[in-house]
Amino acid sequence: MKLSGVFDKFKDLDQIPIDEILKWINPAPNRIVLENYLAGRIIFPQTVAVSKQDLKWDLAILREALKKNANLVSKISRKIFIPDEYLARFPNLSELIWVFIDAFKPKDIWTVIQKGAKFNTIGSVIVPSSGGKVEVEIIIDGKNTKIAAGNLTVIPCQKHRCQISFTVKNGHILGKVKGVVEIFGGRAGVIVDTRI
C-alpha cells in the first residue's frame, strides 16, 4: 500500500527552480536547506507539515507546482478547482485560495469549487484588471468594504449566491468601472485581490 499526499500529484517537482520557491518565503531560508526540504517532499509526498515554517514552505512549493499543472483551473468557465486533499492538508482556506490566485493569476470574477466526490461551490475570487494602483469598493448585503491597492481581502458571504455592487478606481471588473453582479458565495466568501 502506498500512502499518497498532495505532492505526489506533481511529477515534476524536481524541475522547479529553488529561486522561484524562495521568492514566496520571507525571511528566505538557506538555499541548501530548502533544496533538502523539497527533496524530502519529492521522496515522501505524504508527509504533513509539523510547524508553521513547514506549512509556509509547503505553500510556496505548491504555488510553483500549480503553475505547471493547469488541470485545476478552467479559463473558459473561470473556475478554480481545489481538491479535497488540499483542503485537508492546508487548514487555512483563504491562504490556500491565495496560493491558487498567485499560481493562475485570474482576472475579473472566478468561482472557487471544492473538487472531490461532490463539487461544492465555496466562494468567488475578484481580481480587477488594472491601469495602475487599483482600488475597489464592494457592497454585499448593504455592507460596504473598501479595498486599497496592494491588498488581498476576504469579505464574508456564506450564501450560495451573493449580489454585489462594485466600483473600481484605476481598473475594471468585467470591463466596467461600476456595476452590479451576482456571484457565488460559500464558506470562503468573496476574496478580492488588488495586489496587481
Q: And the C-alpha cell for 148?
A: 486599497
Distance CA 20, CA 143 (A): 39
> Do residues 157 and 91 touch, judged by C-beta distance below 8 A?
no
Domain count of the chain? 2
* Domain that includes residue 6, residue range: 1-68
- pLDDT one-digit tens code per residue, 162-174: 999 999 999 999 9
- pLDDT one-digit tens code per residue, 92-104: 999 999 999 999 9
Answer yes or no: do 64 and 80 share one domain. Answer: no
Type of residue found at 66: L
- pLDDT one-digit tens code per residue, 137-165: 999 988 999 999 999 999 999 999 999 99
Q: Tell me, what's the pLDDT at 46?
A: 84
Task: Report H helices in the chain.
Answer: 18-22, 31-43, 52-67, 84-89, 93-104
Domain boundary among 16, 41, 68: 68
Answer yes or no: do 84 and 111 share one domain. Answer: yes
Answer yes or no: do 127 and 158 share one domain. Answer: yes
Q: Tell me, what's the pLDDT at 1?
A: 41
Helix (H, G, I), strand (E, B) or coil at 68: coil
Answer yes or no: do 64 and 83 share one domain. Answer: no
Instruction: Give 44-57 as a DSSP string.
Output: -TTPPP-SHHHHHH
Domain boundary among 48, 68, 88: 68
CA distance readout (Å), 157 to 140, 152, 171, 188, 191: 8, 16, 24, 8, 10
Answer yes or no: do 5 and 50 share one domain. Answer: yes
Give CA angle at 61 (60, 64), nearest 5°: 90
Distance CA 177, CA 167 (A): 6
* Helix 52-67 vs helix 93-104: crossing angle, to nearest 10: 30
pTM metric for this prediction: 0.90
Answer yes or no: do 192 and 134 share one domain. Answer: yes
Domain boundary among 33, 68, 103: 68
Answer yes or no: do 122 and 195 share one domain. Answer: yes
Answer yes or no: do 85 and 62 share one domain. Answer: no
Answer yes or no: do 181 and 116 share one domain. Answer: yes
